[in-house]
């Protein structure tokens, strides 16, 4: 069944779901939620089927490829395809969507706005997430990259917290500025390319001849857009607002998946399309990402608002991911890709459990909590596991990726790796301090009546914790898929791993 348009189908199912949910009568809220969950589960099943057919040693870079002419005058094709990197990110997105839908079950009930709208937007967002990771045409990628802002904007702006309108506009403006710079670069790329009706296909753009100046300009156009999206310090200031004001489900998809489009874009487009400019920019990017790692972690320690704290931890983690990508070693890049997935799951767990906590007490401030582990042990325990994964405790998923990134970086940029390691220490501070302040001690008058996780919430948390633990012990299936894709990227950039000072034993690479 290789001819079956798997990826298009995978994208169409959530779109159909969004339309169906939007068309249901407003009074049938429960039905709308069930339908939305159903559609997202169908997509998940489809992704699993896709992943099982994926051949990690396949000769072609992109599998399940589909290419049709779209706007030949601009050299634009409708082209989809996945390599290992895209596949794991799509898998992460399709796992997180049903989890978020289930987690958001009652989040919008009290709202004046229709609940079905929220679930329709989540499904619409899922379509764009699948599309953006699967696009192998730069123009199509750009279109989805920008169009994705719209559902997210409405999720934050319509269903968010008190400052939602400010946060939504800030999110949108930052992203639009980045997006439009990228548009300028996309146009420049088109004009510089060989032209023709398929000019924008990734394969056709590889190795385009361009002058050093043009290449750097185009690289910057793409990179700044991705750096805003990721977000990389100092372009990060929109994220804490957007993530804190967004409803928990939206925050998970925003931080867990949407922001990954930035780092995905760097590894998929920036490096292979502009290899020389990427190497030219490497020192600057590495510096920024190391600053981001420490800055995000330090600010996270100082936060009083749980959701903002988690958002700042993500800024620190994105520093690691970008560091791994630009270290230009296969370990660094494989680690960064794995980090994208692991960060998605651990941040999702943190955001969602924090969301459950907030929905019980009605406050996002850390000081309003205390002693929760006495009254709600399951809630506290899962929060701890998610937090420990976030600080990269060995045995939990983030550890593998963080260590890979650091090893990969060390082999080329020792100082940067050493400083970045400081981020791990800070990470244990911010996570454990938050845990201590909210969960340990005597229950306060507000938390003493707090209920533990109910069945629905347990079903939300269980798969995330299971994945975190499973990937912590056995990341091999993911790495098997990621490694060939990373090797190909390294080849396209034209870099090789540095020779180790002491020749390592055979098979040292994970």
Partner 1 sequence: MNTGLTLAAEFETPSVEYRLLAPMLIVFGVAVAGVLLEAFMPRPFRHETQLGLAVAGLLAAFASVVMLAGDYSVAASGSVAVDGPALFLQGAILLMAIPGVLATAERKVDVGGVFAPAGSSTPGSPAERLLVAEKITQTEVFPLLMFAIGGMLLFPASNDLLTMFVALEVLSLPLYLLCGLARRRRLLSQEASLKYFLLGAYSSAFFLYGVALLYGYAGTVRLSGIAEAVSSEAGNETLLLTGTALLTVGLLFKVGAAPFHSWTPDVYQGAPTPITGFMAACTKVAAFGALLRVLYVGVGGLAWEWEPVIWGIAILTMGVGSVLALTQTDIKRMLAYSSIAHAGFILTGLVGTDAVGADGELLGVSSVLFYLVTYGFSTIGAFAVVTLVRDAAGEATHLSQWAGLARRSPVIAVVFTFFLAAFAGIPLTSGFTAKFAVFSAAWAGDARVLVIIGVIMSAVAAFFYFRVIVLMFFSAPAPDGPSVVVPSPLTTVAIAIGAAVTLLLGVFPTYVLELAGLASQFVR
- Identified binder of partner 1 from the candidate list 5, 15, 54, 190, rule CB under 8 A: 190
Q: Do residues 124 and 18 touch, judged by C-beta distance below 8 A?
A: yes
CB closer to partner 1, 54 vs 74: 74
What part of residues 67-96 is at the interface with partner 1 (CB under 8 A)? 70-74
Q: Do residues 211 and 266 touch, judged by C-beta distance below 8 A?
A: no
- Is 173 among the residues that bind partner 1 (CB under 8 A)? yes
> CB under 8 A: which stretch of 47-55, 173-181, 260-268, 346-354 binds partner 1?
173-181
Question: How far is it, in rounded angstroms, from Cα 340 to Cα 198?
Answer: 30
Q: How far is the CB of 73 from partner 1 (least distance, A)?
A: 4
CA distances from 48 to 35, 41, 61, 366 (A): 20, 10, 20, 38
229 cis-preceded (ω within 30 degrees of 0): no
Which two structure tokens, joined as six digits, stand for 110? 């009290």
CA distances from 169 to 187, 221, 302 (A): 26, 22, 25
CB closer to partner 1, 54 vs 166: 166
- Is 183 among the residues that bind partner 1 (CB under 8 A)? yes
Which two structure tokens, joined as six digits, stand for 214? 């043009």
What part of residues 193-222 is at the interface with partner 1 (CB under 8 A)? 195-197, 217
CB closer to partner 1, 51 vs 169: 169
CB closer to partner 1, 75 vs 408: 75
Question: How far is it, in rounded angstroms, from Cα 21 to Cα 36?
Answer: 7
Which two structure tokens, joined as six digits, stand for 179? 């997006």
- Identified binder of partner 1 from the candidate list 146, 215, 241, 245, rule CB under 8 A: 146
- Is 377 among the residues that bind partner 1 (CB under 8 A)? no
- Identified binder of partner 1 from the candidate list 14, 157, 256, 408, rule CB under 8 A: 157
CB closer to partner 1, 192 vs 382: 192
> CB under 8 A: which stretch of 139-147, 252-260, 342-350, 488-496 binds partner 1?
139-147
- Give the single-character DSSP code of 74: G
- Identified binder of partner 1 from the candidate list 144, 243, 288, 358, rule CB under 8 A: 144
CA distances from 136 to 6, 69, 219, 323 (A): 15, 13, 18, 24
- Name, in order, each residue with C-beta under 8 angstroms of 130's C-beta and a sequence gap of 6 or more: 7, 10, 11, 14, 43, 90, 93, 94
Q: How far is the CB of 102 from partner 1 (least distance, A)?
A: 26
Q: Do residues 41 and 13 touch, judged by C-beta distance below 8 A?
A: no
CB closer to partner 1, 132 vs 482: 132
b/e burial code for range 89-98 (CB count within 10 A of at least 16 → b)? bbbbbbbbbb
Among 111, 263, 246, residue whose Cα is nearest residue 171: 246
- Identified binder of partner 1 from the candidate list 191, 206, 425, 462, rule CB under 8 A: 191
- Is 181 among the residues that bind partner 1 (CB under 8 A)? yes
- Identified binder of partner 1 from the candidate list 94, 158, 204, 390, rule CB under 8 A: 158
Q: How far is the CB of 501 from partner 1 (least distance, A)?
A: 45
- Identified binder of partner 1 from the candidate list 172, 242, 385, 495, rule CB under 8 A: 172
- How many residues lie near partner 1 (CB under 8 A)? 35
CB closer to partner 1, 127 vs 434: 127
- Is 169 among the residues that bind partner 1 (CB under 8 A)? yes
Rg (CA), the chain: 22
> CB under 8 A: which stretch of 176-184, 232-240, 437-445, 464-472 binds partner 1?
176-184
Which two structure tokens, joined as six digits, stand for 154? 């409405």
- Is 150 among the residues that bind partner 1 (CB under 8 A)? yes
List the Cα angle 475/480/481 in 5-degree steps.
105
Other beta carbons less than 10 A from residue 474's beta carbon: 12
CB closer to partner 1, 225 vs 404: 225
- Identified binder of partner 1 from the candidate list 12, 176, 298, 378, rule CB under 8 A: 176
> CB under 8 A: which stretch of 142-150, 318-326, 381-389, 466-474 binds partner 1?
142-150
Q: State which H helix or E strand residue 70 sits in.
A: strand 63-71
CB closer to partner 1, 158 vs 330: 158
> CB under 8 A: which stretch of 66-74, 96-104, 230-238, 412-420 binds partner 1?
66-74
Question: Bridge partners of 137?
Answer: 201
Residue 66's φ and ψ, nearest 5 degrees, are -130, 135
Q: How far is the CB of 191 from partner 1 (least distance, A)?
A: 5
Question: How far is it, in rounded angstroms, from Cα 183 to Cα 176?
Answer: 10
DSSP three-state, residue 197: coil
Q: Do residues 461 and 351 touch, judged by C-beta distance below 8 A?
A: no
> CB under 8 A: which stretch of 186-194, 274-282, 397-405, 489-497 binds partner 1?
186-194
Residues interacting with partner 1, by CB under 8 A? Answer: 70-74, 142-144, 146-147, 149-150, 154, 157-158, 164-165, 168-169, 172-173, 176-177, 180-181, 183-184, 187-188, 190-191, 195-197, 217
């Amino acid at each position: 069944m290789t001819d079956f348009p798997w990826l298009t189908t995978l994208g169409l199912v959530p779109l159909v779901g969004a339309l169906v949910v939007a068309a249901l009568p407003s009074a049938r809220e429960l039905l709308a939620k069930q339908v939305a969950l159903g559609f997202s589960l169908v997509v998940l099943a489809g992704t699993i089927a896709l992943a099982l057919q994926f051949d990690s040693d396949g000769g072609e870079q992109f599998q399940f490829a589909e290419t049709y002419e779209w706007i030949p005058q601009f050299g634009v094709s409708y082209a989809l395809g996945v390599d290992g990197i895209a596949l794991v990110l799509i898998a992460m997105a399709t796992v997180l969507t049903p989890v978020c839908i289930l987690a958001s079950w009652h989040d919008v009930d009290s709202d004046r706005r229709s609940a079905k709208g929220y679930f329709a937007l989540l499904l619409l967002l899922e379509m764009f997430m699948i599309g953006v990771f699967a696009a192998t045409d730069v123009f199509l990628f750009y279109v989805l990259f920008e169009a994705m802002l719209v559902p997210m904007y409405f999720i934050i702006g319509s269903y968010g917290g008190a400052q939602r309108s400010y946060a939504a506009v800030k999110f949108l403006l930052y992203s639009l500025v980045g997006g439009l710079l990228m548009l300028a670069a996309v146009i420049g790329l088109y004009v510089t390319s060989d032209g023709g009706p398929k000019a924008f296909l990734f394969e056709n753009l590889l190795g385009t001849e361009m002058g050093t100046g043009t290449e750097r300009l185009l690289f910057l156009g793409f990179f700044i857009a991705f750096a805003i999206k990721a977000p990389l310090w100092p372009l990060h200031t929109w994220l804490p607002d957007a993530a804190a004001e967004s409803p928990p489900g939206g925050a998970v998809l925003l931080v867990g998946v949407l922001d990954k489009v930035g780092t995905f874009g760097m590894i998929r487009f920036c490096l292979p399309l502009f290899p020389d400019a990427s190497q030219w920019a490497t020192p600057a990017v590495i510096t920024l990402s190391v600053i981001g790692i420490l800055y995000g972690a330090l600010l996270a320690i100082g936060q009083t608002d749980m959701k903002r704290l988690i958002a700042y931890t993500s800024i620190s983690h994105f520093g690691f991911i970008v560091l791994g990508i630009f270290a230009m070693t296969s370990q660094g890049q494989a680690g960064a890709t794995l980090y994208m997935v692991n960060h998605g799951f651990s941040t999702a767990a943190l955001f969602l459990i924090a969301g459950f906590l907030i929905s019980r007490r009605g406050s996002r401030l850390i000081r309003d909590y205390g002693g929760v582990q006495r009254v709600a042990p399951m809630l506290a325990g899962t929060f701890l596991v998610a937090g420990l994964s976030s600080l990269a405790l060995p045995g939990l998923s983030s550890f593998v990726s963080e260590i890979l990134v650091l090893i990969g970086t060390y082999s080329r940029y020792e100082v940067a790796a050493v400083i970045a390691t400081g981020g791990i220490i800070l990470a244990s501070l911010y996570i454990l301090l938050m845990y201590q302040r909210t969960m340990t001690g005597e229950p306060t008058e507000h938390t003493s009546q707090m209920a533990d996780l109910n069945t629905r919430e347990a079903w939300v948390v269980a798969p995330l914790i299971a994945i975190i633990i499973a990937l912590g012990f056995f990341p091999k299936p993911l790495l098997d898929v990621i490694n060939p894709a990373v090797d190909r990227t390294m080849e396209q950039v034209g870099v090789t791993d540095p020779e180790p000072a002491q020749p390592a034993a055979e098979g040292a690479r994970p």
